[in-house]
Every structure is written in structure tokens, then in C-alpha cells.
Structure 1
Amino acid sequence: MKIENLEKRIDQKVILKELNLTFNKGEITGLIGRNGSGKTTFFRSVAGHYELDHGKILIDQEDIQENKLLKQKIFYIDEQYNFLSGYTLNKLLLFYQNAYAGFNKEKYLTLTKKNNLNPRFKYRSMSKGMQGLYKMILAICSNADYLLLDEPLDGLDIIVKKKVLGILLDDVSENSRSIIISSHNLNELESIIDRALILKRNHIQLDYHLEVLREHARKIQMVFKTKKVPQLVKENSRLLHFQGRVVTAIFENYTHELKTLIQAEQPILFEELPLTLEDVFEANLANEETDYSLQGETL
């Protein structure tokens, strides 16, 4: 799937602007952003629930707005406008079989039976955890090439969460799909994604492949003789924390040469710490207006 110059406004306000992305099959991508950053708008736009103000979404080099059948390759359930509530699982099975030509009924029946989901249940009568599990079963059994999962683990207890993730990861290992998933729990997200997109100020500001990030980035805690942080550190890092004289920062392009130059400043403390996706989120989003220049006149 290729997204070209996507733009979406709501009530004259720009929500998404100049998005250019490619999603590859067999890859799990995490969509990360603060509340209100446009994650749900992104999902609705890609799924065709919103008309685009500008841009194209291409699958196999065809515009999905021109070839409506291509929308069968995308699976998305909108939580806010969820039409499932009033129907039994039997009725929902019929609906999704009609909506997706490649729907895998055999797998659906196996998974619902294994997880004690009675076909006579009404969706709204099930617990939130069972609803989340059922939606993941629908996503997998749709056989869509692109699964858009907006907070699929939200509110699930640990037992159901493990089942949902198990179903998802088993499917990824068996089938070459592209999964785009958002979650507020970055520790959970980090354990399953290959790539992280950070959505900020209407567009994708950062696009990390986690394997590359782990190879090149480092989280370093430093203490210098004075409260003044060397210019070299300021120019090559993103500030995480500054407390007293203790500086914790992320160096996204950390090299042996850079390490040598920092150590030449003779820091009192220079310690490498484990780098997490939560650190990357915090450095890029949680304190958007925080940088070294705001840490006091002595810097």
C-alpha cells in the first residue's frame, strides 16, 4: 500500500497533511501519537470512511477510490461508529462473508469455538475483553492484506490480551499481511512491532525501523563538572530528562567517534541505559517544547 500526499481536514481544521508512506506486507507498524494527534482520522481515511481532501491511496499501484473492490484488502472497525452492537455473532459472520470475498469461515468457526464465543451471543452482551477478542478474530479471518487496528488492546485484562496478541502473531507468522496498530501501551507495542511512525503536528515526523533504531541509537545518562551542557551534546541528542546536573538524552546517530568526543569533555558520569520505545515517544512528543535552551540560563 502506498499513500501519496494524503491530506484531511475536519471543520476547516487540518488534521493530516502531506502524508507519504509505504506499508509492506509482512510488517507490523506501530502508529504513535498523543491524544488528538490524528491517529483515528488516519485509520478512517485509509479505510475509506472519510473522503480525502487531497492525495491518493494505492494498492498494487491502483487508486482505491477508483477501484472500490480494493477496499476488501483493508480491514478496519471504527470503535466510535461501531455497527456490530445489535447483531448476533451468526449475523455478523454472514455480513463479513459478504463483505470480504476471501473470508475464511473455517478458521472463524475454529477460533470462535476455541474461545467459547457462542454464535447466538449478541455482540453488545459480551464483555469488553470478549469483544476485543472477537474483533481480532474477524480481522484475521477477513483475509484482508492490510489490518488497521486502533487501540485493539485497550481495556483488556491480561488473559484476554495474551489471547488477542497470540492470534495476531500466529497469523503474521503464517500470512504475509501488513498490520498498522496504535496503542497507548508502548511497552506492549514495542514487543510486537517492526516499525514505529510518530504522528506529530499533522504529519509523520519520524519513521523508525526498530532494528535500525536499536543498532544506531543510544540512551545516555551524563553528569558534567558544571551545569553547562557541552554544545556537542546539545547538537547531537534529544533531551529526555534534566535534573540538577544529571542529563539523560537520546542520541539517534550514536557513533564511536561521537562517544570519544563526549568523553573528551571529561564527564563525571557517562552511563548507557536501556533504550525503549517509551523513551523515543517521550523525547519526541511528551515534552514537545522542552529542549536544552529552556533548562536555565547557565546552559
Structure 2
Amino acid sequence: MKLVNISKVIEQKEILKNIDFSLQENEIVGLIGRNGSGKTTLFRTICGQYMSDSGSITIDGTDLAIDPSKRSEIFYIDEKENFLSFYSLKKINQFYLNAYPKFDQELFLDLINQHQLGLNFSYRRMSKGMQGLFQMILAICSNARYLLLDEPFDGLDVIVRKQVIGLLLENISESNRTALIASHNLNELEGMIDRALVLKGHQITQDYQLESLRQNARKIQFVFKSKKVPEIVKQHSKVIQMQGRVITALFENFDTELEAQIQAFEPILFEELPITLEDLFEANLSQETILGD
């Protein structure tokens, strides 16, 4: 799937602007951004609930605006506007059977039985955790190539969350499918994703390949003799935290030459710390102004 120059204005507010990225087979991608940054709008635009004001979304070179049948390759449940929530699991199952030509009914029934979900259950009367588990079962059984998951772990207890994540990871590893996940649970997300897209100021501002990032980036904690932060640190890093004279900074490209230049200032403390997804969030988004979703 490829997005090129996607923009969206809602009620005279620019929500998305010139969004560009591609999704490859067999990867899990995290979409991170602050509340109201436009993550849900992006999902709704990809799946066709919203029409983009510019740009194109293609699957295998086919523009979804020209051939909407390709949208059956995309799975998305909009929990905020879920019109199926008033139905039983059996009726919801029937809807997805009709909507997704490759829906795996045998696997669906097997997973429903494994997790003790009755087909006569009313979706809206189920717990938040059971709803999340059922949604993941639908996503997997749809056999859609692209799974758009908006806060799939929100409100799940530890046991159900492990079940949901286990279902997803097992399925992705066994098929050429892709998941794009928006989640505020960065610790959970970090152990799953291959890439992280940062949505800021209506645009994708960073596309991190996490394996490459871990090889090249460093998170360093400093204390310098002077209260003034050396210019070399300002130029090459994003400051994550300052507590008194203790500075914690993220360097996306750190090498021995840069280290030598910093060491020339004879820092009192120079300590490398492990990089987390939360660090990327803080480094890129802590100063962002939120305008709306």
C-alpha cells in the first residue's frame, strides 16, 4: 500500500497534510502521535470513510478511489462510529463474511470457541476486553492484507492483552500481511513493531526503522561543568529531559567523532541509557500544539 500527498480538511481545519508513506508485506508499523494529531482521521481516510482532498492511496498500483473493490484488502473497525455494536456476534460475523471474500469462517469459529465467546453474545454488553479480543479475531479471520488497528489494547486487562497480542503476532508471522497500529501504550507497542511513523503537525515527520535506529542512535545523560548546554549537543540531538544540570538527549546519528567533540567539554557525567519508543515520542512530540482530530 502506498499513500502519496494525502491531505484532509474537516470543518475548515487542516487535519492531514501531504501524508506520504508505504506499507510493506509482513511488517508491523506503529503510528505514534499525540491525542488529536489525526491518527483516527488517517485510518478513516485509508479505509474510505473519508475521501481525501488530495493525493492517492494505491494497492498493487491500483488507486482505491478508482477501484474501491480493493478496499476489501483493508480491515478497520472504527470503535467511535461502530454501527455494528448493537448486534450479536453471529450477525456481525455474517456482515464480515459478506464484506471480505477471503474471510476464514472455520478459523473464526475455532477462535470463538477457544476464547469462550458465544455467538449469541450482544457485542455492546461484552466487557471492553472481550470486545477487543473479538475485534482481533475478526481482523485475523478477514484475511485482509492490511490491518488498521486503532488503540487495540485500550482498556484490556493483562491477560486479555496478552491474548490479543499473541493472536496478532502469530498471524502476522505466518502470512504476508501488515498491521498499522495506533496506540498510546508505547511499552506494549515497542516489543511488536518494526517501524514507527511519527504524526506531527498534520504530517508524517519521521519514519523510523527501529533496528537501524538502535544501531545508529544513542541516548546520553550529561552533566557539564557549565550550566550552558554545548552547541554541539543542541545541533545534533533532541533533548528529552532537563532536570537542573542533568540533560538527557537523543542522538539519532551518533559516532566516535561526535562523542570526541562532546568529551572535549569534559562532562562530569556521560552515561549511555537504553532507547525506548517513549523517548522517540518525547523527543519528537513534547512541544507539539494540538489542533484537533
* TM-score, length basis structure 2: 0.97
2:132 is aligned with what amino acid?
Answer: G
| 1:243-254 mapped onto 2 (5 Å cutoff) | 243-254=243-254
Q: Give runs of aligned pairs for residues 186-225 of structure 1, distance below 5 A.
A: 186-225=186-225
- Specify whether residues 209 and 102 from structure 1 end up closer, same or farther in structure 2 by C-alpha distance, changes over 3 A only: same
Counterpart for residue 107 of structure 1: 107
1:259 is aligned to 259
Aligned residue in 2 for 1:285: 285
2:26 aligned with 1:26, yes or no? yes
Identity of aligned residues (%): 58
Match of 2:176 in 1: 176
Residue 267 of structure 2 aligns to which amino acid in structure 1?
P
What is the CA RMSD across the aligned residues, in angstroms?
Answer: 0.9
Alignment check: 8 A CA contact 2:201 2:288 kept: no
Local SS of the residue matching 1:206: strand
Following TM superposition, where does structure 1 have runs of at least 4 consecutive aligned residues deviating by more than 4 angstroms?
A: none
Q: Which runs of 5+ in 2 are unaligned?
A: none
- CA distance in structure 2 between the aligned counterparts of 1:244 and 1:35, rounded to whole angstroms: 29
Q: Structure 1, residues 124-179: CA drift from partner, whole Å, max 9, x if none?
A: 12111100000000000000000000001000000100000000001011111110
Q: 2:200–2:288: 8 Å Cα contact kept in structure 1? A: no
Amino acid at match of 1:12: Q
Note the 1:1-299 alignment, pairs <5 A. 1-288=1-288
Inter-partner Cα distance in structure 1 for 2:259 and 2:118: 60
Q: Residue deviations 1:231-256, cap 9 Å, x none?
A: 11111110111122111101110011
| Distance in 2, Cα, partners of 1:202 & 1:86 | 33
Query: Per chain length, whose mean CA-contact separation is higher, i.e. which structure has more relative contact order (CA < 8 Å, sep 6+)?
Result: 2
Using the size of structure 1 for normalisation, the TM-score is 0.95
| Distance in 2 (alpha carbons) for counterparts of 1:152 and 1:211 | 24
The 1-side partners of 2:78 and 2:241 are apart by 37
Change (3 A) 1:50 1:288: closer
Shift of 1:101: 0.2
Please state how far the C-alpha of 1:212 moved relative to its aligned partner: 0.9
Give the Cα–Cα distance (whole angstroms) in 2 for the partners of residues 203 and 85 of structure 1. 32
Distance 1:52 1:13 in 2: 14
